Copies of this chain bind each other. A is one copy, B any other.
Amino acid sequence: MEFNDYDFFIQHADINLYYATKFKAIDLAFYIVGNDGTDLLLVPDMEKERAVRESRVKEIAGFGDLGYHDLRREFKDSRKAQAEMLIRLLKTHKAKIVAIPTNFPAYLAIPLAQAFDVKVVKSPFLRMRAVKTHEEIEFIKDTSRAVISAFEFALKLLRREKSCDIIREIIENYLYLKGYLANGTIVSSGKLSAIPHASGGVVEDHVVIDVFPKSRRHHYYSDFTRTVVVNRNDKIEEMLEAVIEAQEKAISTIREGITAKDVHYTVCDVLESYGYKTLRQKANEGFIHSTGHGVGLEIHEEPRIFENETVLKAGMVFTVEPGLYYREIGGVRVEDVVVVRKNGYDVITDYPKRIYLKYFLKDA
């Protein structure tokens, strides 16, 4: 933790707290680090023993140890009592500049800002999480193998099943029983696929299948999309070829030291060269989203791959997922997860991209 800009940092109970402490908070918990050596996990009394068992933090206190219950009875308001508990703790430690993460809840942020010089910062754990350890990459690879296996299973279904909703449910059930939880899986076809996050409908000429499960065991995500051509459709196939070329060219640029926007603009360059519109031309059809996002303990995390200047570091893991969306035609998207290496990259969802159902399934 760097304490150049602040004395204390308070992490509330989101996935960053789990990352930093290995304690799975139910509702409430705070992890407090300070430039005086403070390294404290603060949990409801009932959770104290579980925190001692699960967490890697050595100093663990219950709310009761910090006078919370008396404060709650005094204010008759548990939120005010929490704020006062934190303020008193920080004053005991002579805190002056207190940093809180961007998504810190307002009921604590506003009272803290009245008591201290409060800085809203990107959680330092968010930054740490962006660069994965070897173990974390193995976890993401594990989930990636599962998602590809589920996709192959879905391909076989596509021969007969025509309901996108049923295909989606079967994919999610398949993954769950293998130990992975996929929520919000997208299976869309026809013109509906022009809406990037829509799902459902009947299988027409092509199907976009976008699956992003996490492991029920180690909690790491993967994210994988393929566009399957069920019946020939010239416009869709042209769009798909352009998207595959854009994706492959963008991936080929990846190595430590380049910036997120280099990757994003490579996608835009290729798509624009074929006459498709992109967001940098303020289009509302064509390539209308960012190129990708980090994948780890959350499905969307750092680094973002868009117009930002984020410098890629070895060990970063993110998606490269260009797409094209036209209301009168439909949408296509191709997505892989890549790891940045010192001199290049690894694709960890390696799988064919040109999937013409009739030919592809010959041997299946």
Residues 106-138 of A, flagged 1 when their CB comes within 8 A of B and 0 if not, give: 110110010000101000000000000000000
Interface residues of A (CB under 8 A from B): 26-27, 45-47, 49-50, 53, 64, 69, 73, 76, 79, 100-107, 109-110, 113, 118, 120, 172-173, 176-177, 181, 183-184, 195-198, 216, 282, 284, 288-289, 300, 307-309
Quick one: which of A103, A118, A172, A181 has the most chain B CB within 10 A?
A103
Chain B residues whose CB sits within 8 angstroms of the CB of A176 once the complex forms: 173, 176-177
How near does chain B come to A74, taking the closest CB pair, in angstroms?
12
Cα–Cα distance between A288 and B50 once the two chains are bound (Å): 14
Cα–Cα distance between A107 and B119 once the two chains are bound (Å): 9
Are A107 and B102 interface neighbours, CB within 8 A?
yes
Chain B residues whose CB sits within 8 angstroms of the CB of A110 once the complex forms: 109-110, 113, 118, 120
The 4 closest A-B pairs by CB, nearest first: A102-B107, A106-B109, A104-B106, A103-B105
The answer, among B27, B73, B105, for a CB contact under 8 Å with A104, is: B105
The answer, among B102, B172, B309, for a CB contact under 8 Å with A105, is: B102
The answer, among B46, B102, B181, B308, for a CB contact under 8 Å with A196, is: B46
Are B103 and A27 interface neighbours, CB within 8 A?
no
The answer, among B120, B172, B195, for a CB contact under 8 Å with A106, is: B120
Cα–Cα distance between A50 and B199 once the two chains are bound (Å): 10
Chain B residues whose CB sits within 8 angstroms of the CB of A307 once the complex forms: 73
Cα–Cα distance between A197 and B282 once the two chains are bound (Å): 50
How near does chain B come to A298, taking the closest CB pair, in angstroms?
10
A52 to chain B: closest residue by CB = B195
Cα–Cα distance between A272 and B195 once the two chains are bound (Å): 59
How near does chain B come to A44, taking the closest CB pair, in angstroms?
9
Are B288 and A195 interface neighbours, CB within 8 A?
no
Q: A26-B197, A198-B53 are in contact. Are A106 and B103 (CB under 8 A)?
A: yes
Chain B residues whose CB sits within 8 angstroms of the CB of A288 once the complex forms: 45-46
How near does chain B come to A189, taking the closest CB pair, in angstroms?
16
Chain B residues whose CB sits within 8 angstroms of the CB of A113 once the complex forms: 110, 113
The answer, among B79, B103, B181, B183, for a CB contact under 8 Å with A107, is: B103
Cα–Cα distance between A282 and B118 once the two chains are bound (Å): 34
Chain B residues whose CB sits within 8 angstroms of the CB of A46 once the complex forms: 196-197, 288-289
Q: Apart from A102-B106, A181-B181, what 5 extra A-B contacts exist at CB < 8 Å?
A: A100-B106, A104-B106, A107-B120, A110-B110, A173-B177
